[in-house]
Amino acid sequence: MLKLFLVCVLIIAICVIFLCTTIILKKNGRFPNTHVSGNKAMRERGIRCVQSQDLEMRIDNPHAVKEKSQNNKK
């Protein structure tokens, strides 16, 4: 059981090292920005992140007209 655990930890450590080689070896290495807002072509087309759009829609608009509830009582 202990041998299996150590082998699994070793495999995970090797995978993490291989995934981080470019980040570690570059002078100012960073993780790539894969967010929609980080893509210039999508910003030019007007495609935005759903989370950003949701945040904008949650902000109260001071110029909005309040709707009146209609009670259809007869």
| 32-73 per-position pLDDT tens digit | 777 787 888 888 888 888 888 888 888 887 887 877 766 655
Q: CA-CA distance, 18 to 12, in Å (whole number)?
A: 10
Q: CA-CA distance, 66 to 23, in Å (whole number)?
A: 52
Q: Is-contact 37 43, C-beta < 8 A?
A: yes
Position 71 scores a pLDDT of 67
- Domains of the chain by residue range: 33-59
Closest CA to 7 of 21, 18, 20, 15: 15
Q: Coil, helix or strand for 56?
A: helix
Task: Tell me the HSE value of 17 on the side-chain side, using a 13 A CA sphere.
Answer: 6
